[in-house]
């Protein structure tokens, strides 16, 4: 999964080196080439591609929190489950 971003960063580093070494090039131009063609787009793509795994991690953390507090789900003397007044009520889709 990381092979394409690494390869693209390599290409943009080489573009920046070529920009810096050209007779009309500058270090500022090389830096901007690397940031605007390489690091910026790759950071955006990797963030978007990582969204499903972050969502799964959040759901797993919430499930673990629900599993850690079984006392709040125990029925009271009347047979009703005790409700947590602080926790928001979530509707299932």
**28 secondary structure, DSSP code:** H
pTM for the structure as a whole: 0.60
Q: What percent of the chain has pLDDT over 90?
A: 61
Of 18, 2, 12, 6, which Cα lies nearest the Cα of 35? 12
Predicted pLDDT at 23: 92
Contact by Cβ (8 Å): 30, 51: no
**What is the per-residue pLDDT across 51-73, written as a single tens digit (0 to 9) for each?**
999 999 999 999 998 888 765 55
Contact by Cβ (8 Å): 76, 54: no
**What is the per-residue pLDDT across 40-55, written as a single tens digit (0 to 9) for each?**
999 999 999 999 999 9
The domain spans of the chain are 3-66
SS3 92: coil
């Amino acid at each position: 999964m990381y092979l394409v971003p690494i390869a693209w960063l390599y290409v943009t580093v080489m573009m920046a080196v070529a920009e810096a070494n050209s007779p009309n090039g500058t270090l500022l131009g090389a830096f901007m080439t690397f940031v605007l063609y390489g690091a910026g787009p790759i950071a955006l793509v990797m963030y978007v591609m990582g969204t499903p795994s972050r969502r799964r991690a959040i759901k797993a953390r919430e499930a673990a929190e629900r599993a850690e507090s079984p006392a709040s789900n125990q029925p009271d003397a009347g047979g009703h489950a005790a409700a947590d007044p602080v926790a928001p009520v979530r509707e299932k889709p």
